[in-house]
């Protein structure tokens, strides 16, 4: 049987490299020992099976030590963004009923943790006391249990919601992992972590590789040249990216770097403009750029490079036992080609509920399927195409306008890096279409030229009625543009 899990790999090959972070290389033996010390620290505070451990760290080896330390005692991990303010952290600590909290920024963490009644331990990541604890696990009960996360949604509407999964199951040895086997990851892989580990997908894919004994190369922040340099020097075989990473990679001299080691580049999180996808497929070896569609709540579809070339713009077909239906507002299933709300069945064993939010859970689920409000359609071959989020839909003069369609058209212009299209109030039409456009360095803003370009691709009623230009669009760490904040900043006062 293949050895899986950090403790097992550490016993078998303690000197095998687990994490690469700048000039620092952490072995599996060192990672396992550090995880055990954190498990000891949590256990001493009375944290145990089913409790929540909040971790607010940047991309550094200690984030995995803390995660695996929580997993050693059967606790759930609540990843927090190091960019959050004290008030945002305080809300998440209280809402998750966190029993322990690990942080690196005392200025943010101190005030946030001050009045959280459930906290039994708030510990700075560099606390010397942790280093003096025993490097053996407090119990062997969960040695084969992988990290289980209680992620929070990005809060498109209202406060973020905690996504609750089944509790970690005790296991002394780790068996095969569903998603790892699905993607074909193994010990001979080298994974590049180029997004924030605390975000759902980057963190999970890194953990998948570590569980197999595959090294993870960590980037502190994304830089296109550094990304390509690491791929070349570390012989990276896999990575998880977002379209914003692709855009930046295409802006540098990517051909100057050796990318031949790459076997699989996964991407998701935001719609990828068709022209960008075509070009990034030239950057990496043939057959390596795979797309999937999902959300923090669950996985939905995937599409191979070959399928995508046959169905450009699609995010693929359902797999892993998932079923997808497109329903109208009355809950009736729509025929192929018609846009409606995407409803999804969970991957078997991966159902969820929202923490302390029974009504929101009920709203999300219907007849064994859930929705987060995404809109899209299935074609006659059951390939899914995403339209937008329900909350982003523009209704102008009674007609639906999908911002993603306008953004895709804008992306085809040679001077456009990215855009955010959304609706603003309009007395006559209800809403008018507004486009905030990020241009390539040196490009001159030209609203009339952009409109002329879009007229060749979009019906007149879909054209933006107003443009604004910017050097760089603000984004979530996942790569998604902060559209809600951009829209709110442009709403009339009162």
Residue with tokens 């498109």: 156
Please state whether 232 falls in left (phi above 0), alpha (psi between -120 and 50) or beta.
Answer: alpha
Q: Determine the number of helices (DSSP H) and then strands (DSSP E) in the chain.
A: 16, 26
What is the average pLDDT across 211-223? 96
Band of the pLDDT at 64, cuts 50, 70, 90? very high
What is the average pLDDT across 310-327? 96
| Angle at the Cα of 418 from the Cα atoms of 405 and 462, rounded to 5 degrees | 30
User: Contact, 213 vs 13, CB < 8 A?
Assistant: yes
pLDDT at 154: 62
Give strand pairing partners of 79. Answer: 55
**Pairwise CA distance, residues 412 & 404, whole Å:** 13
458 CB-near residues (< 8 Å, 6+ apart): 405, 406, 409
What is the average pLDDT across 438-456? 92
Task: Tell me the pLDDT tens digit for each residue of 14-29.
Answer: 999 999 999 999 999 9
Beta strands 298-303 and 384-389: pairing type? unpaired
Neighbours of 444 (CB within 10 A): 8
What is the average pLDDT across 318-339? 95
pLDDT at 236: 98
| Angle at the Cα of 321 from the Cα atoms of 317 and 324, rounded to 5 degrees | 50
What's the fold here for domain 6-308? Answer: Rossmann fold (3.40.50)
User: Contact, 426 vs 487, CB < 8 A?
Assistant: no
Strands of the sheet containing 466-470, edge to edge, are 416-426, 430-439, 466-470
pLDDT at 42: 98
**Pairwise CA distance, residues 343 & 245, whole Å:** 29
The DSSP result for 234-290, as a single string, is TT--EEEE-HHHHHHHHTS-GGGS--TT--EEEE-SSPPPHHHHHHHHHHSPTT-EE
| Angle at the Cα of 483 from the Cα atoms of 478 and 485, rounded to 5 degrees | 105
Q: Dihedral angle at the C-alpha atoms of 112, 113, 115, 118, nearest 10 degrees?
A: 130
Question: 3-state class of 26 per DSSP?
Answer: strand
- High-pLDDT (> 90) share of the chain, %: 77
pLDDT at 478: 59
What is the average pLDDT across 120-145? 96
Considering only CA atoms, which of 352, 218, 339 is closest in space to residue 294?
352
Burial class (CB in 10 A: 0-12, 13-18, 19+), 87: exposed
Band of the pLDDT at 406, cuts 50, 70, 90? very high
Task: Tell me the pLDDT tens digit for each residue of 153-208.
Answer: 865 446 789 999 999 999 999 999 999 999 999 999 999 999 999 989 999 999 99
pLDDT at 319: 94
User: Contact, 331 vs 366, CB < 8 A?
Assistant: yes
The yes/no answer on whether domain 396-489 falls in CATH 3.90.1300.10 is: no
Is 50 exceeded by the pLDDT of residue 34?
yes
Is 90 exceeded by the pLDDT of residue 472?
no
265 CB-near residues (< 8 Å, 6+ apart): 238, 239, 240, 241, 280, 284, 288, 289, 290
**Pairwise CA distance, residues 430 & 412, whole Å:** 28
Band of the pLDDT at 3, cuts 50, 70, 90? confident
Q: Dihedral angle at the C-alpha atoms of 241, 389, 275, 285, nearest 10 degrees?
A: 30
| E strand or H helix at 432 | strand 430-439
pLDDT at 477: 60
The DSSP result for 448-490, as a single string, is HHHHHHHHTTS-GGGS-SEEEEES---B-TTS-B-HHHHHHHT
Beta strands 394-396 and 324-327: pairing type? unpaired
pLDDT at 156: 46
Burial class (CB in 10 A: 0-12, 13-18, 19+), 260: exposed
Q: What is the mean pLDDT of the chain?
A: 93
Please state whether 249 falls in left (phi above 0), alpha (psi between -120 and 50) or beta.
Answer: alpha
Domain spans of the chain, in order of start: 6-308, 309-392, 396-489
Is 60 exceeded by the pLDDT of residue 459?
yes
Indicate the CATH number for domain 309-392. 2.30.38.10
Question: What is the b/e burial string over 198-223, where b = at least 16 CB atoms within 10 angstroms of the residue's CB?
Answer: bbbbbbbbbbbbbbbbbbbbbbeebe
What is the average pLDDT across 125-137? 96
Question: What is the b/e burial string over 282-317, where b = at least 16 CB atoms within 10 angstroms of the residue's CB?
Answer: ebbeeebbbbbbbbbbbbbbbbebebbeebebbbbb
Is 50 exceeded by the pLDDT of residue 209?
yes
């Amino acid at each position: 049987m293949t050895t899986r899990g950090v403790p097992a790999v550490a016993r078998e090959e303690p000197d095998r490299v687990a994490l690469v972070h700048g000039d620092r290389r952490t072995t599996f033996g060192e990672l396992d020992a550090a995880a055990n010390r954190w498990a000891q620290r949590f256990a001493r505070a009375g944290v145990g099976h089913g409790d929540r451990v909040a971790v607010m760290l940047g991309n550094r080896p200690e984030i995995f030590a803390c995660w695996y330390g929580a997993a050693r005692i059967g606790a759930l991990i609540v990843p927090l963004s190091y960019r959050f303010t004290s008030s945002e952290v305080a809300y998440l600590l209280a809402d998750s009923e966190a029993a322990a909290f690990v942080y690196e920024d005392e200025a943010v963490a101190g005030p946030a943790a001050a009045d959280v009644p459930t906290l039994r331990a708030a510990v700075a990541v560099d606390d010397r006391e942790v280093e003096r604890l025993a490097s053996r696990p407090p119990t062997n009960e969960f040695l084969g249990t992988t990290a289980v996360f209680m992620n929070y949604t990005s809060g498109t509407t209202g406060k973020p919601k905690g996504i609750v999964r089944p509790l970690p199951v005790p296991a002394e040895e780790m068996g095969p992992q569903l998603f790892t086997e699905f993607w074909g990851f193994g010990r001979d892989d080298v994974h590049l972590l180029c997004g924030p580990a605390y975000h759902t997908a980057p963190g999970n894919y890194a953990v998948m590789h570590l569980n197999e004994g595959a090294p993870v190369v960590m980037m502190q922040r994304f830089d296109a040249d550094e990304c390509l340099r690491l791929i070349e020097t570390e012989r990276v075989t896999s990575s998880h990216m977002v379209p914003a990473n692709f855009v930046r990679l295409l802006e540098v001299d990517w051909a100057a770097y050796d990318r031949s080691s790459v076997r699989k580049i996964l991407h998701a999180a935001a719609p990828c403009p068709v022209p960008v996808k075509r070009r990034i497929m030239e950057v990496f070896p043939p057959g390596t750029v795979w797309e999937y569609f999902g959300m923090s709540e669950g996985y939905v579809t995937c599409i191979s490079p070959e399928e995508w070339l046959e169905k450009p713009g699609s995010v693929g077909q359902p797999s892993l036992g998932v079923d997808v239906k497109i329903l109208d507002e009355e809950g009736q299933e729509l025929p192929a080609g018609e846009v409606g709300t995407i409803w999804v069945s969970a991957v078997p064993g991966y159902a969820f509920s929202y923490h302390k939010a029974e009504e929101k859970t009920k709203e999300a689920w219907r007849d064994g399927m859930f929705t987060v409000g995404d809109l899209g359609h299935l074609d006659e071959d059951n390939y899914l195409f995403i339209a937008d989020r329900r909350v982003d839909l523009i209704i102008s003069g009674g007609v639906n306008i999908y911002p993603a369609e306008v953004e895709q058209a804008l992306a085809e212009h040679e001077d456009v890096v990215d855009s955010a299209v959304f609706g603003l109030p309009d007395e006559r039409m209800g809403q008018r279409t507004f486009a905030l456009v990020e241009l390539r360095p040196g490009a001159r803003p030209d609203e009339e030229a952009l409109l002329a370009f879009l007229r060749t691709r979009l019906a007149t009623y879909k054209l933006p009625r107003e443009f604004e230009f910017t050097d760089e669009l603000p984004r979530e760490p996942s790569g998604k543009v902060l559209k809600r904040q951009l829209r709110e900043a442009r709403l009339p006062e009162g």
